[in-house]
């Protein structure tokens, strides 16, 4: 039976994880990998797209920036930091995170009956400073939406703070006519890519 000092030393070397996101959806998805964050510490960075920035590199830059921002603040001492960002795009156009009903409705009208892409980027910063990154790309197409369907979805309030004005884990899933890619990525944390990064970093997984 290990003594208290041995147990303390073992605990000190057990890998821990900080989730750089206040999103309950990312926390729930992470739980599917049997990973519980030691702490949740949302990173506060400027998410404005740079001039001419394309959707994929934009998502990757934000995920990377969130992980590095926590490390710079000293919030990640001796812990792995997992950060993510999700971007909805129509062609080269990056759709905003809907903060009001008008923006949500405008996004849904744009997405109605057409194909769009969701980029879900993740970055894992290890205690030794190693930064690992992955990104998933999912293509989706909404059914042609009537004014009534758009109004009903906007009235639900599910769009609040969501990239592209919708969340696939809710009522919007019934509006998706076709999808190819990562369902968990569209929600906000691509599980296949996340598991691969954690395994590569030596984080214990089942």
How confident is the model over 67-114, as pLDDT tens digits?
Answer: 999 887 765 568 899 999 999 999 999 999 999 999 999 999 999 999
pLDDT band with cut points at 50, 70 and 90 for residue 8: very low
Distance between CA atoms of residues 23 and 18, nearest Å:
13
- Catalytic, 100? Answer no
Give pLDDT, residue 72.
76
Question: Catalytic residue among 44, 77, 85, 100, which?
Answer: 85
- Report pLDDT digits (tens) over 120-143: 999 999 999 999 999 999 999 999
pLDDT reported for residue 75: 56
Around 40, how many Cα atoms within 13 Å sit in the side-chain half-sphere? 12
Report the 10 Å Cβ neighbour count for 33. 15
Count other C-beta atoms under 10 Å from residue 24's C-beta: 10
Say how far apart CA 63 and CA 86 lie, in whole Å. Answer: 9
Q: Would you say residue 9 has pLDDT above 70?
A: no
Q: Could you state, in order of their start, the residue ranges of all structural domains in the chain?
A: 4-200
CA distance 89 to 192: 22
Is 56:79 a contact under the CB 8 Å cutoff?
no
Between CA 39 and CA 134 the distance in angstroms is 22
May I ask the CATH architecture of the domain 4-200? Alpha-Beta Complex (3.90)
């Amino acid at each position: 039976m290990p003594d208290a000092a041995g147990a303390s030393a073992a605990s000190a070397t057990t890998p821990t994880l900080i989730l750089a996101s206040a999103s309950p959806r990312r926390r729930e998805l992470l739980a599917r990998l049997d990973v519980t964050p030691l702490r949740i510490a949302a990173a506060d960075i400027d998410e404005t797209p740079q001039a001419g920035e394309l959707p994929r590199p934009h998502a990757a830059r934000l995920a990377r920036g969130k992980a590095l921002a926590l490390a710079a603040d000293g919030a990640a001492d001796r812990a792995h930091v997992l950060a993510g960002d999700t971007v909805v795009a129509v062609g080269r156009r990056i759709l905003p995170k809907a903060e009001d009903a008008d923006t949500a409705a405008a996004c849904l009208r744009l997405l109605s009956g057409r194909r769009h892409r969701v980029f879900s980027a993740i970055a894992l910063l290890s205690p030794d400073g190693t930064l690992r990154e992955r990104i998933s790309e999912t293509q989706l197409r909404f059914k042609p939406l009537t004014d009534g369907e758009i109004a009903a979805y906007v009235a639900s309030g599910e769009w609040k703070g969501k990239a592209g004005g919708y969340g696939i884990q809710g009522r919007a899933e019934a509006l998706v006519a076709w999808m190819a890619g990562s369902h968990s990525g569209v929600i906000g944390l691509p599980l296949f890519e996340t598991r691969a990064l954690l395994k590569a970093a030596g984080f214990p997984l089942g």
